[in-house]
């Protein structure tokens, strides 16, 4: 496709001169509180899907559809005018966001985007609205200047990523043909460091669970009964504590059975990355780092499984003192998994182990929530190399290859259902506070993302 | 005081022939919704104090006063015509009541007393209006027949017991002289079993605290950081778990230093009481009882200190899954204390120990709330023996001596400020549902309470 070479300058000029419009549009998108985890926000999630569909029509996508699911809708669009010989790319993003709590820790309201110090503050700024929107703008730049794209592009935006993408897998299964592609592109991750373009070739998986410990059948007066009956908070703490050994290893029997060991080459590559334990400690604000013995921090978060508690509650939690010995106590916890651990297998093992740890004095129930498989992509796939060229062109730096600690369950879905490699090119930064108050996306990264996207479509057209 | 012997028959006859009047008067008292916890009911609490003051004048108390406080008023009355040689008794009761909610669970309205199956149903029936009113009727019986009481009697009725007796301690402090007495009598507890007259000679104390564990400086994404930083929920669980050893003993250094050991005689007395571990287990609804090794259930709740968690919270606690690694986690906990543990000393020791257990990876803060001292009354104190004689005369049963697991802070107040032993003789029963819907007081127990009171004043006059 020779014509593309001559277009890139126009495309980049278009991006340059439309930065303000793009930002204003992103602010509109970020203003919609599309919180998928809370049922009462379902109409806002719906409204966000509609907004996106209309926007995709406006920029000139040839086909735009909003597919209802039993949960939140899937927005699908495509522009496939290059024919069968040209590569086809599937761009995935998610337009739903995490709840904003605790609200009072936000410096500006989570759904009133605010630009301060070159940073866009809003829930979803980097996770994932700002990132996939950069690609939409990269596509727009081509359509508005060249009138076409150098490759076939399909776009899939889901509204349930933060609640486990429950309805995505069956929808992908039903639409295998429609979604067939040579590679999947996702920008829902971070650059290794500011200015250091990054491709993530591995992700951890997830098994998420909740346990409820029941002691007495009803709340008791702690004076009248304290010391004679099992206290579910104490018992819950005992179970939590028994889930790790002194070396920071998870005690669930069989937990490490299927863990793929780190390759020596990977350990060396990780060790070669600029990384300061002290900076990491300061960034997280902890007094001391803590994890599985025998591994570095990067190895721990990228290539080793972990078990963390995400929430805990029980008894009296309001102001002041109430001398209750509660009937129940609860905790949410999750395992981060690495290849080749299976989420269902791990969840069942965890469930069984917690039930065993509970002992005779209390009853425990473990509910299993959604899971996600860990994934790993070959580093020499054509799409990976095209992405690397686009990234290094824009950032003027060699690309670094990393793995990620988080989970993008859809990556496993695509890999399984579409048999296509996934390229993760994150435009975010490590300090973006995703899932936390004051989530942000650097304006520079938003604009760079748009330029990378515009280059990528062209690099992909030339890819071998 | 020889004359008293000849009066007891008249006194008991008076009680016998006035039962209907007494019940009607109690119904009037129970009709006043003197709910101290709700500000909007303050006028009703005031009206209740006035009603009592007028009633005490009617029955012939020589001095009756209503003392305003910054909260609800204290009703004080006395009849001290026996001179300095005769013993002086201070009777304590509280005329305020708990809120009646949930209202729809009451079979008859909470403030329209209803007699069904020999039981008086009303809020405050047993806690504490019915119980202290029995003493007032016992006093009336003497004044209306003998024209005098066999001992000096002081009466203190407060209106803030259900909200922590905030203004009572300073008032007692200011009125030490006025309140000076040989013993304090309180009927605000239960009989060990129906038909089994009971004196409670010990109560546990309380030290209440809250701890906050801080790990990261802000909530983190558990995927990106899980496995490399200390999780405050896990760390809190570790601390909670370390507060007890495997034998159910509290590990706080020095915790047991001042614990007064159970006397062999007490252990035998407890063991002789009708008690079924299986019934207790069913009543609490736990699968298995659990506590400090080497002690029975009654010993554990009455005479051994305990540490219980009353509330816990941290991270994401709403519906569904959120993969947060929270910045903080919190828990409320309290120690039930026995003689001669000091609440302040124990709280400080707990604080220090928790800080030590926290280690280097997390920061912990322990806030100390209010405390209350444990109390114990010598079983051979004259007032205890007089009460025992009066109780066994009326019930025609040997009195059982019990201790209580809960804390009644006013008992410690009286013990400290007035240097007088407290006799707790409860007329209530274990199934009276105090603080719950359908609170009741058995009519038989009300009448027995009046007769016990009338005997007690005489037994006290003869006490050595």
- Judged by DSSP in three states, B45 sits in helix
Q: Which chain B residue's Cα is nearest to A292?
A: B227
Of A359, A125, A317, A310, the C-alpha closest to A208 is: A310
- Alpha helices for B165-231 (secondary structure H): 168-174, 176-179, 222-225
Q: Over range B395-414, report the average pLDDT.
A: 91
Q: What single-letter DSSP state applies at residue B104?
A: G
The DSSP element (H or E) to which A278 belongs, if any, is helix A277-284
Q: Does domain B205-259+305-372 have CATH number 3.40.718.10?
A: no
* Cβ pair A312:B315 closer than 8 A: yes
* Residues of chain B with C-beta less than 8 angstroms from the C-beta of A374: none
Would you say A314 and A328 are in contact if contact means Cβ atoms under 8 Å apart?
yes
Beta bridge partners of residue B380, listed in sequence order: none
* Out of A228, A301, A321, closest to residue B332 by CB: A321
> What was the pLDDT predicted at B48?
98
Residue in A with minimal Cα distance to B220: A436
pLDDT over 70 at B86, yes or no: yes
- Which residue from A minimizes the CA distance to B213? A286
The overall average pLDDT reported for chain B is 95
Average pLDDT over residues B306-313: 97
Query: Nearest-CA distance from A57 to chain B in Å?
Result: 33
Contact A312 B310 (CB under 8 A): no
Residues of chain B with CATH 3.30.70.360: 205-259+305-372
Cα radius of gyration (chain A):
24
Selecting from B223, B308, B316 the residue whose C-beta is nearest the C-beta of A325 gives B308
| Mean pLDDT for the stretch of residues B297-308 | 97
Q: Max alpha carbon distance in chain B (Å)?
A: 87
Query: CA torsion angle for A184, A189, A193, A194 (degrees, to 10)?
Result: 90
Round to the nearest angstrom and report the end-to-end CA distance of chain A: 13
**Integer Cα distance of B248 and B305 in angstroms:** 11
| pLDDT tens digits, A369-387 | 978 889 988 888 999 999 9
Beta-sheet pairing, B363-372 with B205-214: antiparallel
| SS3 of residue A395 by DSSP | helix
- Distance of alpha carbon A67 from alpha carbon A231, whole angstroms: 49
* Predicted pLDDT of residue A378: 85
Contact B324 A362 (CB under 8 A): no
How many whole angstroms separate alpha carbon A395 and alpha carbon A451?
Answer: 10
pLDDT tens digit at each of 464 positions of chain A: 445 456 999 999 999 999 999 999 999 999 999 999 999 999 999 999 999 999 999 999 999 999 999 999 999 999 999 999 999 999 999 999 999 999 999 999 999 999 999 999 999 999 999 999 999 999 999 999 999 999 999 999 999 999 888 899 999 999 999 999 999 999 998 899 999 999 999 999 999 999 999 999 989 888 889 999 999 999 999 999 999 999 999 999 999 999 999 989 889 989 999 999 999 999 999 999 999 999 999 999 999 999 999 999 999 998 888 888 999 999 999 999 999 999 999 999 999 999 999 999 899 999 999 788 899 888 889 999 999 999 999 999 999 999 988 877 788 889 889 989 999 999 999 899 988 999 999 999 999 999 999 999 999 998 76
**What does each C-alpha distance from A150 to A6, A173, A455 come to in angstroms?**
12, 27, 10
Integer angstrom CA distances of residue A274 from A146, A279, B440:
40, 11, 73
Q: What share of chain B has pLDDT > 90, as a percent?
A: 88
Helices A19-30 and A443-461, interaxial angle, to 10°?
110
Burial per residue of B383-422, b for 16 or more beta-carbon CB atoms within 10 angstroms, e otherwise:
bbbbbbbbbebbbeeebbbbbbbbbbbbbbbbbebbebbb
Residue B434 has pLDDT above 70, yes or no: yes
What confidence tier does B4 reach under pLDDT thresholds 50, 70, 90? very low
**At A115, phi and psi to the nearest 5?**
-100, 115
**What is the rounded distance in angstroms from the CA atom of residue A309 to the CA atom of residue A330?**
11
B340 preceded by a cis bond (ω within 30 of 0)? yes
Q: Which architecture, in CATH terms, is A205-259+305-371?
A: 2-Layer Sandwich (3.30)
> Per the CB < 8 Å rule, is B360 touching A287?
yes
Q: CA nearest A163 in B: which residue?
A: B321
Taking the CA of residue B283 and the nearest CA in chain A, the distance in Å comes to 8
Total residue length of chain A: 464
Contacts of residue A363 in chain B, CB cutoff 8 Å? 287
CATH number given to A3-203+374-461:
3.40.630.10
| Mutate: best of B241, B304, B310, partner A, most A CBs <10 A | B310
Please give the torsion angle defined by the CA atoms of residues A460, A454, A6 and A463, in that order, rounded to the nearest 10 degrees.
Answer: -10
Using DSSP bridges, classify how beta strands A198-203 and B198-203 pair: parallel, antiparallel or unpaired. unpaired
Yes or no, beta carbons of A218 and B334 under 8 Å apart = no
Contacts by A258-262, CB closer than 8 A, 24 or more apart: A258/A340, A258/A341, A258/A342, A258/A345, A259/A304, A259/A305, A259/A338, A259/A340, A259/A341, A260/A338, A260/A339, A260/A340, A260/A376, A262/A299, A262/A303, A262/A304
Q: Cβ of A313 and B310 within 8 Å?
A: no
In angstroms, the Cα distances linking A87 to A75, A82, A383, B221 are 22, 8, 10, 35
Taking an 8 Å cut-off on Cβ atoms, the answer to whether B309 and A284 are in contact is: no
Question: B219 to chain A: which residues are within 8 Å by CB?
Answer: 435-437
User: Which of A123, A226, A375 to mutate against chain B (most B CBs within 10 Å)?
Assistant: A226
Q: Which two tokens stand for residue A33?
A: 């509180």
Kindly indicate the confidence band of residue B5, based on its pLDDT and cuts at 50, 70 and 90: low
- Hey, are the CB atoms on A218 and B285 less than 8 Å from each other? yes
SS3 A221: strand
| Helix segments in A42-167, DSSP class H | 42-59, 130-145
Q: Decide if pLDDT at B137 tops 50.
A: yes
Closest chain B residue by Cα to residue A211: B317
**Whether residue B463 has pLDDT greater than 80:** no
CATH code 3.40.630.10 region(s) in chain A: 3-203+374-461
Please say whether the beta carbons of A186 and A165 come within 8 A: no
CA distance B399 to B193: 11
Confidence of residue B435 (pLDDT cuts 50, 70, 90): confident
Chain A residues inside the 8 Å CB shell of B323: 206, 208, 310, 334, 406-407, 435
Name the pLDDT band for B112 (thresholds 50, 70, 90).
very high
Contacts of A290 in chain B (CB under 8 A): 228-230, 361
**Taking Cα atoms as reference points, which of A327, A216, A227 lies closest to residue B301?**
A227
Q: Which two tokens stand for residue A24?
A: 């204003």
Beta carbons of B249 and B292 less than 8 angstroms apart: yes
Q: Which of A163, A288, A336 sits opposite B320 (nearest CB)?
A: A163
Report CB contact under 8 Å: A226, B301.
yes
Which stretches of A294-379 are DSSP H helices? 297-303, 343-358
Burial of A282: CB neighbours in 10 Å, binned 0-12, 13-18, 19+: exposed
Q: Which of B220, B224, B309 is facing A315, going by the closest CB pair?
A: B309
- Predicted confidence at residue B406, as pLDDT, reads 86
Token couple for A41: 């926000």
Identify the H or E element spanning B47: helix B42-58
CA distance A221 to chain B (A): 8
Q: How far apart are CA A138 and CA A155, in angstroms?
A: 13
- Cα B234 to Cα A64, A337, B358, distances in angstroms: 47, 19, 11
Using CA atoms, how far apart are residues A222 and B246, in angstroms rounded to an integer? Answer: 21
Q: CA separation (Å) from B115 to B19, B55, B121, B440?
A: 14, 22, 6, 9
Q: Do B306 and A226 touch (CB under 8 A)?
A: yes
Residues of A in contact with B230 (CB under 8 A): 286-290
| Separation between Cα atoms, residue A107 and residue A114, nearest integer Å | 10
8 Å CB contact between B183 and B311 = no
Comparing alpha-carbon positions, the chain A residue that sits nearest to B361 is: A288
Mean pLDDT to the nearest integer, B159-166? 90
pLDDT band at residue B121, thresholds of 50, 70 and 90? Answer: very high
CA angle B59, B61, B66 (to 5 degrees): 105
Cβ-Cβ contacts under 8 Å between A and B: the total is: 306
Contact across the interface for B222 and A164, Cβ inside 8 Å: no
Give the ipTM.
0.86
HSE (CB half, 13 Å, CA atoms) of B384?
Answer: 17
The nearest CA of chain A is from the CA of B282 a distance in Å of 9
Per-residue pLDDT tens over the stretch B314-356: 999 999 888 899 999 999 999 999 999 999 999 999 999 999 9
CA A84 to chain centre: 32
Burial (CB count within 10 angstroms: exposed 0-12, middle 13-18, buried 19+), residue B261: exposed
Q: Assess contact for A178 and A185: CB atoms under 8 A.
A: no
| Cβ <8 Å between A332 and B317 | yes
CA B200 – CA A270 distance, rounded (Å): 69
DSSP letter at A393 equals: H
Contacts with A316 from chain B: Cβ below 8 Å: 310-311, 332
Q: Chain B contacts of A101, Cβ < 8 Å? A: 318
Q: Which CATH superfamily is domain B3-203+375-462 in?
A: Zn peptidases (3.40.630.10)
Segments of chain A assigned to CATH 3.30.70.360? 205-259+305-371
Across the interface, whether the CB atoms of B218 and A433 are under 8 A apart is answered yes
pLDDT band at residue B464 under the 50/70/90 scheme: low
- Residue B109: other Cβ atoms inside 10 A: 14
pLDDT of residue A6: 65
On the 0-12 / 13-18 / 19+ scale of CB atoms within 10 A, B293 is: exposed
Statement: residue B1 has pLDDT above 80: no
Which pLDDT does position A4 carry in this prediction? 46
């Amino acid at each position: 496709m020779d014509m593309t070479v001559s277009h890139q300058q126009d495309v980049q000029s278009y991006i340059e001169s439309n930065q303000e419009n793009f930002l204003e549009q992103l602010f509109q998108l970020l203003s919609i509180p599309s919180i998928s985890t809370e049922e009462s926000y379902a109409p806002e999630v719906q409204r966000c899907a509609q907004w996106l569909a209309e926007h995709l029509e406006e920029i000139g996508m040839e086909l735009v559809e909003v597919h209802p699911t039993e949960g939140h809708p899937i927005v699908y669009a495509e522009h496939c005018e290059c024919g069968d010989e040209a590569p086809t790319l599937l761009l995935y993003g998610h337009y739903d966001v995490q709840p904003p709590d605790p609200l009072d820790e936000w410096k500006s309201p989570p759904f009133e985007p605010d630009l301060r110090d070159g940073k866009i503050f809003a829930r979803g700024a980097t996770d994932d609205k700002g990132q996939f929107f950069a690609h939409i703008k990269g596509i727009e730049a081509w359509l508005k200047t060249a009138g076409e794209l150098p490759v076939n592009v399909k776009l899939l935006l889901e509204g349930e990523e933060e609640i486990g993408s429950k309805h995505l897998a069956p929808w992908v299964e039903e639409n295998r043909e429609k979604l067939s592609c040579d590679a999947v592109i996702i920008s829902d991750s971070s650059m290794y460091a500011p200015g250091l373009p990054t491709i993530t070739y591995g992700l951890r998986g997830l098994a998420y669970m909740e346990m409820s410990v029941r002691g007495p059948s009803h709340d008791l007066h702690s004076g009248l009964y304290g010391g004679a009956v099992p206290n579910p908070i104490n018992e819950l703490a005992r179970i939590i504590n028994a889930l790790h050994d002194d070396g920071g290893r998870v005690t669930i029997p069989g937990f490490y059975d299927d863990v793929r060991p780190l390759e020596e080459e990977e350990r060396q590559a990780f060790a070669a990355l600029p990384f300061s334990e002290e900076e990491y400690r300061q960034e997280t604000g902890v007094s001391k780092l803590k994890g599985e013995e025998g591994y570095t921090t990067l190895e721990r978060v990228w290539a080793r499984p972990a078990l963390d508690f995400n929430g805990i509650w029980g008894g009296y939690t309001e102001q002041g003192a109430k001398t209750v010995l509660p009937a129940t106590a609860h905790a949410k916890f999750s395992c981060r998994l690495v290849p080749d651990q299976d989420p269902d297998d791990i969840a069942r093992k965890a469930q069984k182990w917690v039930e065993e740890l509970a002992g005779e004095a209390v009853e425990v129930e473990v509910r299993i929530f959604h899971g996600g498989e860990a994934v790993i992509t070959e580093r020499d796939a054509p799409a990976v190399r095209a992405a690397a060229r686009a990234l290094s062109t824009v950032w003027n730096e060699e690309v670094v290859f990393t793995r990620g600690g988080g989970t993008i369950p859809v990556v496993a879905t695509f890999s399984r259902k579409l048999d296509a490699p996934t390229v993760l090119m994150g435009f975010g930064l490590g300090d973006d506070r995703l899932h936390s108050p004051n989530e942000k996306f650097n304006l520079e990264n938003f604009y760079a993302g748009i330029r990378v996207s515009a280059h990528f479509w062209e690099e992909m057209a030339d890819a071998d």
